[in-house]
Amino acid sequence: QIQLVESGGGSVQAGGSLRLSCAASVRTFSTYVVAWFRQAPGKDREFVAAIGYRGRTTFYDHSVEGRFTIARDNAKNTAYLQLTSLKPEDTAVYYCATKTDLSSYTESRYYNRWGQGTQVTVSG
């Protein structure tokens, strides 16, 4: 069964950048839709970005569009989230999630495998 491990989080100042990685345990990574969600203290989990099987389809929440970029390298069984122009309100635990169907890209309830999360902290 697929396992996901996030890495790359850290603490940066506003305007800085980070690249998050999501490493998958399977060699059939191209059969999974991958998404990133985040959850800040006191807030609900929210959609950040998603990418289709081959990387040709992407979705972004309006709050990050133009600043974050989702990508994947199926040969490395890894997905990425490039975060630039970071703001304090981006502070959250970021989670990688996967699913195999095309029911919805943006709703967390359709994703059935989740990583442990990686902390992103942005100071003003």
Give the per-residue pLDDT at 114: 97
C-alpha to C-alpha distance for 121 and 32, rounded to whole angstroms: 28
For 1, counting Cβ atoms within 10 Å of its Cβ (0-12 exposed, 13-18 middle, 19+ buried), the class is: exposed
C-alpha to C-alpha distance for 77 and 33, rounded to whole angstroms: 12
Q: Which residues pair with 21 in a beta bridge?
A: 7, 80
C-alpha to C-alpha distance for 42 and 2, rounded to whole angstroms: 30
Give the per-residue pLDDT at 27: 84
Q: Residues of the chain whose pLDDT is less than 50?
A: none
Average pLDDT score over the chain: 96
**Exposure on the CB side of residue 28, measured as CA atoms within 13 A:** 6
* Amino acid symbol at 52: G
What is residue 113's three-state secondary structure?
A: strand
